[in-house]
Structure 1
């Protein structure tokens, strides 16, 4: 697990050093992001929120789901979602 984490951190560092960032959500999708964030906020069970975000990542894109997670204004949810992305090896 530590080797995997170190490798991910190295790749992220390499990616960041190249001046690259995760692709932004298209303007057309910004309203959809806000709508989905509201739906996620309404879910009461934390695990279901993560499932919803993973579903959005698979349906639209990881970047889209990350934006939704950010718009929920729930730092813990964003962190848990990030952990799930790493676990499932999903990336923007």
Structure 2
């Protein structure tokens, strides 16, 4: 990833479990998450009422970051995970997801 790479941020309530797992593992959060349990990962995604993603704007739009959160969409937002693939860390993806 280069500093000039365009990032697409979006709300993705139907994020694929395999993509979620890959970013958790690539970010090192996979060391403390149930990445070998598809049903639990799906429950984690389904239980969040806000899933935000960061994708590279290139063919295939690879996922490089994700936030999973609970919010009232008015005042409070609790972030459960903020994961960014190690190859994309240090260029502001996490800040972009939080913004």
Shorter chain as normaliser: what TM range? under 0.3
The TM-score with structure 2 as length reference comes to: 0.25
Query: Which structure dedicates a bigger proportion of its chain to helix?
Result: 1
Query: Which structure dedicates a bigger proportion of its chain to strand?
Result: 2
